Amino acid sequence: MTNSIKIHGFPLSGHSHRVELFANLANISYEAIVVDLPNGAHKKEPFLSLNPFGQVPVIEDGDIVLSDSNAILVYLAKKYAPNWLPEDPEGAAAVQRFLSLAAGQISYGPASARLITVFGAGLDAGRAQAVASWAFDRLEAHLEGRSWLAADEPTIADVAVYTYTAHAPEGNVDISGYPNIRAWLSRVEGLPGFVGMKKTKVGLAA
């Protein structure tokens, strides 16, 4: 690559982190641009011209502007790192299953629980923790005998699910009773190029 991709994000956003994590794992050159979320920069121009939904992350790749972290993962894998996204129908569907989990129960579970403790979001902590437990119970069972979520090697599915799972204790979600999940997190963290998201000392991580 001759030109770096611009990744507009925020250091404590798990959605932003999954994009930066993948760029590092796939050796994709990028420039990180911090959006000042605490002061509402994502809700006004010029950011809204990039993403009218007012959410991070957003990438700029030449003339291409793309938002939604999972969509960005698909784009980057398709264009720059195809070994991270299976082409066969069964493999592609297996990855999509976990992208949906990341956008669904992971978002409404551990991500929402963390929003409460880290950012003071006015959400239902009990419900978020219950959704997280539901998701992690099933993720733990799925990982029995498996190294990776969707294939015999890491894919963008693992990247999409990693961050909010690893940082679940910040939202008072205990993952100590999930040995398969913890072993999988360690495998992700052992990949060449891995970079973690900054830890916040709140909840069970305090």
* pLDDT of 2 higher than 80: no
Summarize the confidence of residues 53-64 as an average pLDDT. 97
pLDDT of residue 7: 98
DSSP state of 198: P
Q: Among candidates 14, 5, 53, 52, which has minimal Cα distance to 33?
A: 5
pLDDT given for residue 4 in this prediction: 87
Neighbouring residues of 82: CB distance < 8 A, sequence distance ≥ 6: none
Partners of 32 in beta bridges: 7
The answer, yes or no, to whether residue 3 has pLDDT greater than 70, is no
**Among candidate residues 171, 50, 151, the one with its CA nearest the CA of residue 107:** 171
- The stretch 169-181 carries a mean pLDDT of 98
Q: Is the dihedral of CA 52, 35, 123, 112 positive or negative?
A: positive
- Mean predicted lDDT score pLDDT of the chain: 97
- For 189, other C-beta atoms within 10 Å of its C-beta total 12
Residue 1 has pLDDT above 90, yes or no: no
To the nearest whole percent, how much of the chain has pLDDT over 90?
98
pLDDT value, residue 48: 96
- Is 96 in a helix, a strand, or coil? helix
